[in-house]
Chain A
Amino acid sequence: DAGITQSPRHKVTETGTPVTLRCHQTENHRYMYWYRQDPGHGLRLIHYSYGVKDTDKGEVSDGYSVSRSKTEDFLLTLESATSSQTSVYFCAISESIPGTDTQYFGPGTRLTVL
């Protein structure tokens, strides 16, 4: 998985609790992304980062926030988890501008919100 780790790999939590997912890369790639994968929807972009402290919203950003204080770490936070955020979350990285370089995906985090 191209030097990408995600933690935790599985998590069960209750509605209303905060949750933080971590993506860690050892490739020193500039771009990092968070996607969610749901049956019937494929993968949808939540947020992405194009450098330390530089982030932007994706297609389904409501209810999520991100932070990137170091090149290697990109955190996804659900401030108050809801059942609709039950999903599999994938982190991805790319060395340069998307389209000029490949996006590599991590192994995923399965989140269940009860």
Chain B
Amino acid sequence: GENVEQHPSTLSVQEGDSAVIKCTYSDSASNYFPWYKQELGKGPQLIIDIRSNVGEKKDQRIAVTLNKTAKHFSLHITETQPEDSAVYFCAALGGLRAGGGADGLTFGKGTHLIIQP
């Protein structure tokens, strides 16, 4: 099955600086890579995603890049703000199963992003 590694586990940056979180995946058939933000006491919420036919995607201060050859993808947050403090998870989705079902997402272990004032 798929295996997703995420680094770093904790990242502390000054407010206004950029933050980068990196993930690698093992299954070359994986074709969908979402990023989730989880605030304390809440469920994960999708912030951006990318599919395997795209190399980069941006949404305001957030961007995701994908390198299929190297099997890694990264989350970039620019001009960080206090409300960006949270745990961020990357995930990967493999292909459909032969029986027609589909796997859920395989998640990285998370990065605790701390924005220092």
Contacts and interface: CB of A to CB of B under 8 A. Distances in A.
B34 A33 contact: no
Contacts of A106: 43
A56 B99 CA distance: 10
Interface of B: 1, 6, 31-32, 34, 36, 41-46, 49, 51, 89, 93, 96-97, 99-110
A56 B108 CA distance: 22
A21 interface: no
B89 A58 contact: no
Pick from B44, B100, B106, B110 the residue with the most CB of A within 10 Å: B44
A78 B88 CA distance: 29
Given A59-B1, A102-B49, A97 B43 contact: no
A48 interface: yes
Given A40-B109, A107-B43, A54 B93 contact: no
Contacts of B97: 56
A104 interface: yes
A44 B99 CA distance: 22
Contact of A98 (B42, B44, B45, B105): B105
Contact of B31 (A54, A99, A102): A99
A50 B101 contact: yes
Contacts of A42: 6, 89, 107-110
A1 B43 CA distance: 8
Contacts of A92: 104
Nearest to B43: A105
Interface string A32-74: 0101000011111100101000101011000000000000000
Given A50-B101, A102-B34, A108 B43 contact: yes
B101 A54 contact: yes
A103 interface: yes
